[in-house]
């Protein structure tokens, strides 16, 4: 009888500890059922889908582009190390991606296309590439398998100190742009 009581007490304490640490008071965990209703992570953004831009010219070149998945959004990060005071940018939805200078149309997969312009060339002052992107091709090293919002990426090249990127997304969804000292971050929400 003593062992059974001890085991039950231990189980009750462990259960109480898990309940206390897993869920904040009054909240249901993501995907949990409470009162017959299934709850999911709340993802309110208020970002909108209108153009977003910021001016901050830099003489530093673009070095890397990477992506990541988050609970409420997919993220693209464009690295411009050494930019110091920030990186200029313009991000907007476009009907089709048109390469600057050449005027070539670049096909981008997805239900909508975000044009991402960064005020940094993808080459140094001698014209040597600092980023291995090739015009019209997917961004090197980026695999979008398993992403909820991102569908495709395309490099559109650099022209007059700006680099142009096409980001194909599932639909026209809200997005935000964070201009940090040495990178631009583009987050696109999974839903409205």
Structure tokens at 162: 């700006």
According to the model, what pLDDT value does residue 38 have?
43
Please state, in angstroms and rounded to a whole number, the distance separating the CA atoms of residues 178 and 187.
8
Domain map of the chain by residue range? 2-38, 52-189
Q: Is the confidence at residue 4, as pLDDT, over 50?
A: no
Across residues 25-30, what is the average pLDDT?
35
Grouping H, G, I as helix, E, B as strand and the rest as coil, residue 5 is: helix
Task: Retrieve residue 93's tokens.
Answer: 């939805």
| Residue 15's pLDDT band (cuts 50, 70, 90) | very low
Top-level class of domain 52-189 = mainly beta
Mapped onto helix, strand or coil, the DSSP state of residue 88 is: coil
- Predicted TM-score (pTM) of the model is 0.77
> What is the model's pLDDT at position 30?
41
Q: Which residue has the tokens 């993802």?
A: 43
Tell me the C-alpha distance between 34 and 76, whole Å: 35
* pLDDT per residue as tens digits for the range 82-139: 887 778 999 999 999 999 888 899 999 999 999 999 999 999 999 999 999 999 999 9
Per-residue confidence band for 40, with pLDDT thresholds at 50, 70 and 90: low
């Amino acid at each position: 009888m003593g062992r059974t009581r001890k085991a039950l007490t231990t189980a009750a304490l462990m259960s109480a500890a898990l309940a206390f640490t897993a869920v904040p008071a009054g909240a249901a965990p993501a995907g949990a059922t409470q009162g017959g209703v299934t709850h999911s992570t709340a993802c309110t953004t208020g970002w909108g889908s209108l153009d977003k831009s910021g001016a901050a010219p830099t003489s530093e070149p673009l070095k890397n582009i990477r992506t990541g998945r988050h609970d409420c959004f997919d993220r693209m990060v464009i690295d411009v190390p050494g930019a110091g005071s920030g990186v200029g940018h313009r991000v907007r939805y476009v009907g089709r991606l048109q390469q600057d200078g050449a005027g070539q149309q670049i096909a981008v997969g997805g239900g909508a296309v975000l044009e991402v312009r960064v005020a940094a060339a993808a080459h140094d002052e001698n014209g040597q590439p600092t980023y291995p992107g090739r015009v019209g091709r997917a961004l090197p090293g980026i695999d979008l398998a398993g992403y909820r919002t991102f569908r495709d990426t395309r490099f559109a090249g650099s022209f007059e100190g700006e680099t142009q990127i096409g980001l194909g997304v599932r639909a026209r969804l809200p997005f935000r742009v964070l201009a940090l000292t040495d990178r631009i971050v583009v987050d696109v929400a999974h839903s409205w």
